[in-house]
Structure 1
Amino acid sequence: MYKDPKTRLTKMYDRPGFLLRRAYQISAGVFEQECRELSLTPAQFAVLSVLAATPDIDQARLSRCLGFDKVTVMYILRGLVDRGLITRDTGTGKGRRIALALTKAGALLLEQAQEPTEVASATLMACFSETQQKQFIKLLKILTTSLEDRARAPLIMPEFVEGERVEE
């Protein structure tokens, strides 16, 4: 469509995928800076949050609750187990099911992470007015729900989560 390489490059910088990836890089950087004293990544925080809200969840369900592939979840879990933040129990008697649980140290870390994660979220949204913040979140939800069937890993939120679907 565009023969000029400079025009193509300019168009690339305006593509939604490029901008979403860049926004995620910034988001992760802000999060990690705010949580540096806790040595916590966004993915680890997400796993700990799901485990706190859904006791005795298994590894497969955890993957679906976060929209992560199984390999990514296994990698994150290994790090959390090594730090003594979660336990994995294969002795549930339910075939290959691996039950997961927060340890006291994991619950404490999650509690300590609440304030810095809120600061990180506020930092990300500070460039928007309150109205723009609501619109931005609404647009992201529309994008993610309308294209969910094209995701590499499915996202299936726990039943008690309200407002996961947004209509256009």
Structure 2
Amino acid sequence: MDTEPDQESHSPATAPPGLVEGWFIYTIKQLESGLRAPLEQAAQQAAGLTTAQYTALAVLARWPGITSSELARRSFVRAQTMAETMTPLLEAGYVRRSEDAASGRRIPLYLTDAGREVLESLSGPVSALESALLAAIPPAERQSFASNLRACRTALAGLPR
């Protein structure tokens, strides 16, 4: 007799006995892992980008003028990793550094028109992936789901990195 819990038959709220501690974290990691490959494929096929490059462009679209270190934090990577991610984006002309001398050491980053266009080319595939992700959640519950995700993100913001 198989005594392993069936991962598909248990929601995080009804985690199998013995798996309660860390069950939410495990489930979130499953989601992240399940999204990574399709997002990587969409970014590569539509624009020749990596997921990290797509993320950097999406973050810059949302927060224009942030620095590379701020971009790294918002993209969940180290500053050195972001520097490596940014090099091809700068070379391709998708991102520009501000030449504003008034900013001093702080060098703001901005999407270029080409960067906005490449990001727009991913709108359809990303929207389809998000729709697939949310298909199991009734539309009336999605706002609450988003609110709960933001609350979890906020709760983690104060933890040491």
**Fold equivalence (TM over 0.5):** yes
Which segments of 5 or more consecutive residues in structure 2 lack a partner in the other structure?
A: 6-17
Contact kept? 2:60, 2:66, Cα under 8 Å: yes
The two structures, once aligned, show a CA RMSD in angstroms of 3.1
Task: State the partner residue of 1:105.
Answer: 114
Task: State the partner residue of 2:88.
Answer: 79
Matched, 1:25 2:25: no
Superposition pairs of residues 73-152 of structure 1, within 5 angstroms: 73-89=82-98, 92=101, 94-150=103-159, 152=161
Seen in structure 2, the aligned counterparts of structure 1 residues 99 and 92 have a Cα distance that, compared at 3 Å, is: farther
Question: Larger deviation: 137-146 or 112-121?
Answer: 137-146
> Structure 2 CA distance, aligned partners of 1:22 and 1:138?
20
Instruction: Number of aligned residue pairs: give it.
Output: 145
Percent identity of paired positions between Structure 1 and Structure 2: 26
Larger RCO (alpha carbons 8 Å, 6+ apart): 1
Seen in structure 2, the aligned counterparts of structure 1 residues 137 and 56 have a Cα distance that, compared at 3 Å, is: closer
TM-aligned CA deviation for residue 122 of structure 1: 0.6
From 33, 55, 61, give the equivalent of 1:52: 61
Partner amino acid for 1:45? Y
Partner amino acid for 2:41? Q
Other structure's SS at 2:66 match: coil
Seen in structure 2, the aligned counterparts of structure 1 residues 129 and 55 have a Cα distance that, compared at 3 Å, is: closer
TM-score, length-normalised on structure 2? 0.69
Partner amino acid for 2:110? A
> Structure 2 CA distance, aligned partners of 1:33 and 1:132?
29
Question: Larger deviation: 69-78 or 22-31?
Answer: 69-78
Other structure's SS at 2:120 match: helix
Task: State the partner residue of 1:39.
Answer: 48
Seen in structure 2, the aligned counterparts of structure 1 residues 141 and 55 have a Cα distance that, compared at 3 Å, is: closer
Contact kept? 1:13, 1:19, Cα under 8 Å: no
